[in-house]
Structure 1
Amino acid sequence: MSLSISLSTSSVLESQRECVIVAAFEDGTLSPSAQLIDQASQGQLSSLLQSGRVSGKSGSSLLLPFLTGCKTPVLLVGAGKPGEITAAKFIKLAQDVSKEMNSRSFTSADSYLAEVAVKERSVAWAVRQLAEQSPSALYSYDATKSKKADAPKFSDLGIGVTAADVPAVTEAVKQGSGVAQGVALAKELANLPGNVCTPIYLAEQAIALGEANDLLTTEVLDEEQMRELGMHCLLSVGAGSDEPSKLIVMNYQGGEKDTKPYVFVGKGITFDTGGISLKPGAGMDEMKFDMGGAASVFGLMQTLCAMKLPINVVGVVASAENMPSGGATKPGDVVTTMSGQTVEILNTDAEGRLVLCDALTYISRFNPETVIDIATLTGACIIALGHHTSGLLANDDELADQLFSAGQSSYDRCWRLPLYDEYQEQLDSNFADIPNIGGRPAGTITAACFLSRFTKEYRWAHLDIAGTAWNSAGKAKGSTGRCVPLLAQYLFDRLA
């Protein structure tokens, strides 16, 4: 059961849903709808604030089942200090409230949290986040568990706005709901174990997505077809695996036939042992997340299909399993890319760029408007930016600025790193045109420099999501669904 999202212009006192959600602040004030409830209940909310039973601090809440003048129970939630409520705090508030509604077994609610003023953000932004974060907070993985999780009871959310706000926020609800669907798919695919989510499995999911949506067609290239195209670099990565590699092409035609498409290329390494350059055993289970870039492309395509956006988009997934065996590619081997350039493979654990480079050559046939690749590419990006911000590199300043802006707007943030010519000097080889690693210094940048050798024909950007694609700790361990919100916002902005 999914969470249905809609706008509500009903007064908080006239809500027909099972509960209403309003905000209190640390300074003892109430949101506009909470003030209406306070007046109808002859000051009961004010009394609670004055007595200290409600603090107004972010994260606090109190369920009031019976209030004079109210038809429904009231969940009074603390929103923090007025004027200091940031985007991050509001997103957490939206997530926490959705979880609380479900834990209390409410099936429906009207939320008036869009009244909370968020620093440097509009009402439409708040509505978008409520529509996106509320269902996302209810996601639970159980695909490979013997005991399945109970379906969320919370299934109907109304977002309370004024009638005057409706024109400005209607699209925000559609966007938030559409992105939430894409994030859910990205999380599910990335969370699946490597013995389930193989390149063949991803290809099957792409075919199924195409069969379910009239605007999407799917083509899957097998190893023989890739060999005929000269994609020996991509094929070298899967050479040690019994699982065949796949190039998956999802073509979404929502715009005019002759309009150039926006192309997104995802790294789809469904499990990465490092190959002959074997990774340490500790934490290697997390290498099932090495297809996080592919998952984000799938999520984006799901969002497009759900919203039926009038735009042309091609989603490409370069998928392989990187394993050590007698047939595996060895350090020192030289392979030829689809572009004709040769690559000396100095480290088989730098495999993402090897599958991406052939995919980036292949997609030139689509005459793209722009190309964005998304990959869990380098551990160096985690050292540079940690786990909050994705790395951004590009051969086009305008495209880089657009992606940065989309990240700020969607709160799926990225930060640009330089792609100066001097870094290219680290990619010199005595035995091939280019090595697949450039040494320890600036590892994220030299990885992008490698990819840039294959993107000279079009405007291109690279998103390194090694630090943002999944969480490693405790109960939060699992896929984050990034960068679906950022990529979707980039396309929303192109249609604005």
Structure 2
Amino acid sequence: MMMLLPLRTVLQRSVSRSCCRGFSVSPQTYNSGKKGLILGVYEKDKEEESLVFTSAGDTFDNVVSGKLRDHLTRSGSLVKKGKTRIFYGLHEDFPSVAVVGLGKKSAGVNHDEHWNESKENVRTAVSAGCRQMQDLEIAHVEVDPCGDAQAAAEGAVLGLFEYDELKKKKKKVVSTQLYGSHDNEAWQKGALYAEGQNLARYLMEAPANHLTPTKFAEVLEQKLGKVGSNVKVFTRSKTWIEEQQMGAFLSVAKGSDEPPVFLEIHYSGSPNAKESPLVFVGKGVTFDSGGISLKPSSGMDAMRGDMGGAATVCSAIVTAAALKLPINIIGLAPLCENMPNGRANKPGDVVKARNGKTIQVDNTDAEGRLLLADALCYAHGFNAKAIVNAATLTGAMDVALGSAATGVFTNSSWLWTRLQEASIVTGDRVWRMPLFEHYSKQVTESALADLNNIGKYSRSGGACTAAAFLKEFVTAPHWAHLDIAGVMSNKDEVPYLRKGMSGRPTRTLIEFAARLSKDKSST
């Protein structure tokens, strides 16, 4: 990225040429330069206060002789939180200036909401400003750090993403960069966090005929091949899966003509090569028809995103490698389709997992836990400091929490605390759910096998019984299961994400890994 001159120097060089044309000028007149500027403004805490700009906003307003403040004052209403107002002709270098509402300057960690409200306000405001610039077909936008350059970068990069890979008409590409600040390191960090989540969104959004298990592995190999020599990718074939005796995983995969893949990623970022790794495990069902227990056709197209667990954990590792985090991470992603051909699992079938436990499959649409059972058994061979799995596992999780937070089931308060702390920073919240013995009894009492994949009471506590099922394949002292079914997609709940697959909680996983890399108590 080009080094920027100090803000005041840049503006003073051209102030004699700048002019203000008022409110009547059309956008087309001043968009010929295709360069925009986004500045933040806070809500007034007291009625008698004047407008409260950010530092960059104040400097810009001084250079244009107070015209920005004057225009905002004369408009008669404040720029509300998350909203934008755009002005033309204030400055020759920036034909279009968007002022975005940041809410209260005093905002910080909101303990009731379990997130940093200030960071969320910045993400939302910058996202709104960037989208408005995109709608105006402005190609280059400079962004006020708004007091938090990382959050500003996340808002810009997340807000502009849209999956239009297969459309003839595509959205205008907008390049963004930090404006008037030397906090480039935080900006670049935020951009990488957001690009990681966008990679997960890209993978989840891609149609199932374009992103098969084999293609998923190829995309990750390509991405990881660009981030350094300390990353190794192993694409395990069906033969290897059979050798590992992953009977539960194979029982799901056999219903599809697409071959299964077990993707294994090793990122060695710690200076101590022997340091125990963090292990991420992600459910990778690239399309889930439900199998013989067929899903309703309405909304089934969204099941292309049922590999969201694999998408988020793999994207988090790509970002960790790009950030050069000093930690070792292993990623495991069992990838397959769940389809209803003549070889598919039938309700009542019994299959055997890698650890020798038998499973009665009473519902073939509860397939994700079968993949994860074998992957979790395999994960225990790495002497992990923690095992974290993510999966779009149950509709019951969506019923319980909706899209407000990812449900976390864990046997470790140490691990829970670190996941929660990370989520407060990212705004992509987590919420702890119970792992009571009450639920374990429901899955361990089976007529034909050691375990039942849906339990005795299939409609009661479905997210909890699914977690209890996974717990039967865990002996590690620090394990967490993230059920991300409720946060799989976005309608309008997260204002800085467009409608579609959300890629959540990729940034929380990245932040968790970043914090763990500095946490000496974890080794």
Using the size of structure 2 for normalisation, the TM-score is: 0.84
The CA deviation string for residues 339-379 of structure 1, in whole angstroms up to 9 with x for no partner, is 11111111100000000000000111211111100000000
Q: Is the 8 A contact 1:57 1:81 kept in 2?
A: no
Residue 23 (1) aligns with residue 78 (2): no
- From 306, 320, 333, the counterpart of 1:290: 306
Once residues 7 and 292 of structure 1 are traced to their aligned partners in structure 2, the CA distance between those partners, rounded to angstroms, is 38
Report the CA distance shift for 1:406/1:80 in structure 2 as closer, same or farther (over 3 A).
closer
Once residues 381 and 90 of structure 1 are traced to their aligned partners in structure 2, the CA distance between those partners, rounded to angstroms, is 29
Report the CA distance shift for 1:100/1:334 in structure 2 as closer, same or farther (over 3 A).
same
Report the CA distance shift for 1:304/1:114 in structure 2 as closer, same or farther (over 3 A).
same
- From 237, 246, 259, the counterpart of 1:222: 237
Residue 430 (1) aligns with residue 447 (2): yes
Amino acid at match of 1:194: A
TM-fit CA distance, 1:26: 4.2
Report the CA distance shift for 1:181/1:33 in structure 2 as closer, same or farther (over 3 A).
closer
Unaligned 5+ segments in structure 2 are: 15-33, 45-49, 108-116, 519-523
- From 76, 82, 91, the counterpart of 2:123: 91
- From 275, 282, 293, the counterpart of 1:277: 293
Matches within 5 A, 1:431-450: 431-438=448-455, 439=457, 440-450=459-469
> CA RMSD of the aligned region, Å?
2.5
TM-fit CA distance, 1:472: 5.6
TM-fit CA distance, 1:33: 3.2
Amino acid at match of 2:52: L
Secondary structure of the residue aligned to 1:114 is: coil
Q: Is the 8 A contact 2:277 2:327 kept in 1?
A: yes
- From 156, 174, 178, the counterpart of 1:134: 156
Q: How many residues were matched structurally?
A: 473
Residue 79 (1) aligns with residue 102 (2): yes
**Aligned twin of 2:84:** 60
Once residues 15 and 381 of structure 1 are traced to their aligned partners in structure 2, the CA distance between those partners, rounded to angstroms, is 57
The CA deviation string for residues 100-145 of structure 1, in whole angstroms up to 9 with x for no partner, is 2333344434332423xxxxxxxxxx22111222122221212223
* Larger CA deviation: 4-13 vs 485-494: 4-13
**Aligned twin of 2:112:** none
Once residues 263 and 476 of structure 1 are traced to their aligned partners in structure 2, the CA distance between those partners, rounded to angstroms, is 30
**Aligned twin of 2:480:** 461
Once residues 265 and 253 of structure 1 are traced to their aligned partners in structure 2, the CA distance between those partners, rounded to angstroms, is 17
TM-fit CA distance, 1:382: 0.6
Residue 209 (1) aligns with residue 246 (2): no
Amino acid at match of 1:103: D
Matches within 5 A, 1:96-107: 96-107=128-139
Once residues 306 and 223 of structure 1 are traced to their aligned partners in structure 2, the CA distance between those partners, rounded to angstroms, is 30
Matches within 5 A, 1:77-226: 77-83=100-106, 86-115=118-147, 126-145=148-167, 147-152=168-173, 154-161=174-181, 166=183, 171-212=185-226, 213-226=228-241
Once residues 323 and 5 of structure 1 are traced to their aligned partners in structure 2, the CA distance between those partners, rounded to angstroms, is 50
**Aligned twin of 1:251:** 266
Once residues 136 and 467 of structure 1 are traced to their aligned partners in structure 2, the CA distance between those partners, rounded to angstroms, is 19
Report the CA distance shift for 1:151/1:50 in structure 2 as closer, same or farther (over 3 A).
closer
Percent of aligned pairs with the same residue? Answer: 36
Amino acid at match of 1:100: Q
Q: Is the 8 A contact 2:345 2:364 kept in 1?
A: yes
Amino acid at match of 2:7: S
**Aligned twin of 2:368:** 352
- From 11, 14, 24, the counterpart of 1:13: 11
The CA deviation string for residues 146-190 of structure 1, in whole angstroms up to 9 with x for no partner, is x051551x32411443x6xx4xxx553332122122112111111
Amino acid at match of 2:153: A
TM-fit CA distance, 1:395: 1.0
TM-fit CA distance, 1:226: 1.3
Q: Is the 8 A contact 1:209 1:216 kept in 2?
A: no
Q: Is the 8 A contact 2:79 2:100 kept in 1?
A: yes
**Aligned twin of 1:34:** 57
TM-fit CA distance, 1:215: 1.8
Amino acid at match of 2:166: T
Once residues 426 and 355 of structure 1 are traced to their aligned partners in structure 2, the CA distance between those partners, rounded to angstroms, is 20
Secondary structure of the residue aligned to 1:79 is: strand
TM-fit CA distance, 1:297: 1.8
**Aligned twin of 2:24:** none
Report the CA distance shift for 1:205/1:26 in structure 2 as closer, same or farther (over 3 A).
closer
Secondary structure of the residue aligned to 1:137 is: helix
* Larger CA deviation: 220-229 vs 382-391: 220-229
Secondary structure of the residue aligned to 2:160 is: coil
**Aligned twin of 1:478:** 500
Q: Is the 8 A contact 2:123 2:156 kept in 1?
A: no
Amino acid at match of 2:177: L
Amino acid at match of 1:190: M
